[in-house]
């Protein structure tokens, strides 16, 4: 994922008023002084929020027009489950043309930064028009929704912050379904649903495969179907937790 960032070419809509200039290191609204950039002028601008309680997590929200424009671009691309280079280039190009400039700048910074943010949260993104179930076992996601917008979206965002790939033992497609499965409710894996999954490093052992480090630098998750009664996906930065550990815990952590 640490490859050079490509040039961006984007079609921008014509606004009657100039956009505010935003410092990504300190995204403060020029008019209010709050640590956010609100969707001003009837929602024509994206919003960016850097919360004081989670400085390592940056939250971005598209306005409805931006969401719809991105959705139209992604629906026009046929999903390639093998993740061919041509397909990845197509969804990357579509996202570059459809996403607003400030969001592209944040993603570019995440890709090239020596110390990238722990997490980016993107909200109000396009999804398939109809989602009526969840895949079970080896079922394809298309059996339960009207298209491949969510897959194209995940690959597009991943391609703007790194080089997307998947791991064969988790699934054969470039995008794999993470869904609770009947009969696995009490398992502490992505298949479970009645228990909280313990803290872990995603595929940490892949750092030591045949003297190569093929462990992913990041993980892209797209929320497609929510169950409000089940465990949530929680977001936190391990670096922030270090401030709460004593010397004994820190020494143990280094072993």
DSSP secondary structure letters along 57-85: EEEEE--HHHHHHHHHHHHTS---TT--H
Q: Collapsing DSSP states into helix, strand and coil, what is residue 98? A: helix
What is the residue extent of each domain of the chain? 36-253
What is the predicted pLDDT for the residue at 103?
A: 94
Spatial separation of the C-alpha atoms in residues 73 and 95, rounded to whole Å = 7
What counts of helices (H) and strands (E) characterise the chain? Answer: 7, 4
Query: Which stretches of the chain are assigned E, i.e. beta strand?
Result: 36-37, 47-50, 57-61, 119-123
DSSP-derived secondary structure letter, 145:
B
Asked: is 36-253 a CATH 3.40.50.170 domain? The reply is: no
The predicted pLDDT at position 246 comes to 81
Q: Can you list the residues of the chain whose pLDDT is less than 50? A: 1-43, 255
User: What's the order of all strands across the beta sheet hosting 36-37?
Assistant: 36-37, 47-50, 57-61, 119-123
pLDDT of residue 84: 95
- What's the confidence (pLDDT) of residue 94? 97
Query: Which 3 state secondary structure label does DSSP give 120?
Result: strand
Q: 0.85 exceeded by the pTM?
A: no
Rounded distance between C-alpha atoms, residue 215 and residue 200, angstroms: 13
- In the chain, how long is the greatest CA-to-CA distance? 59
* Alpha-carbon separation of residue 60 from 50, 67, 144, 170 (angstroms): 9, 12, 28, 29
Sequence-separated (6 or more) residues with CB below 8 Å from residue 25:
none
Q: What is the pLDDT of residue 142?
A: 73
Let me know: does 111 contact 1? Beta carbons within 8 Å: yes
pLDDT of residue 198: 67
Q: With contact defined as beta carbons under 8 Å apart, do 198 and 188 qualify? A: yes
Q: Which of 224, 215, 41, 212 is nearest to 126 (CA)?
A: 224
Q: 35 near 57, Cβ under 8 Å?
A: no
């Amino acid at each position: 994922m640490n490859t050079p960032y490509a040039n961006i070419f984007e079609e921008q809509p014509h606004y009657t008023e100039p956009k505010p200039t935003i410092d990504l290191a300190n995204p403060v609204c020029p008019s209010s002084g709050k640590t956010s950039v609100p969707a001003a002028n009837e929602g024509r601008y994206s919003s960016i929020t850097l919360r004081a309680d989670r400085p390592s997590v940056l939250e971005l929200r598209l306005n409805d027009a931006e969401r719809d424009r991105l959705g139209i671009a992604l629906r026009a691309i046929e999903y390639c489950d093998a993740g061919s280079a041509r397909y990845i280039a197509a969804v990357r190009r579509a996202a570059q043309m459809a996403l607003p400039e400030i969001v592209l700048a944040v993603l570019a910074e995440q890709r090239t930064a020596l110390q990238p943010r722990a997490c980016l949260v993107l909200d109000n993104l396009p999804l398939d028009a109809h989602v009526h179930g969840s895949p079970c076992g080896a079922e394809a996601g298309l059996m339960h929704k009207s298209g491949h917008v969510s897959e194209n979206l995940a690959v597009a965002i991943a391609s703007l912050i790194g080089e997307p790939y998947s791991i064969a033992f988790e699934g054969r497609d470039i995008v794999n379904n993470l869904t609770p499965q009947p009969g696995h409710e009490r398992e502490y894996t992505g298949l479970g649903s009645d228990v909280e999954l313990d803290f872990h490093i995603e595929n940490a052992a892949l750092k030591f495969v045949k003297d190569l480090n093929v462990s992913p630098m990041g993980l892209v998750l797209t929320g497609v179907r929510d169950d409000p009664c089940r465990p949530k996906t929680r977001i936190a930065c391990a670096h922030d937790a270090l401030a709460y550990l004593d010397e004994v815990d820190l020494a143990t952590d280094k072993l």
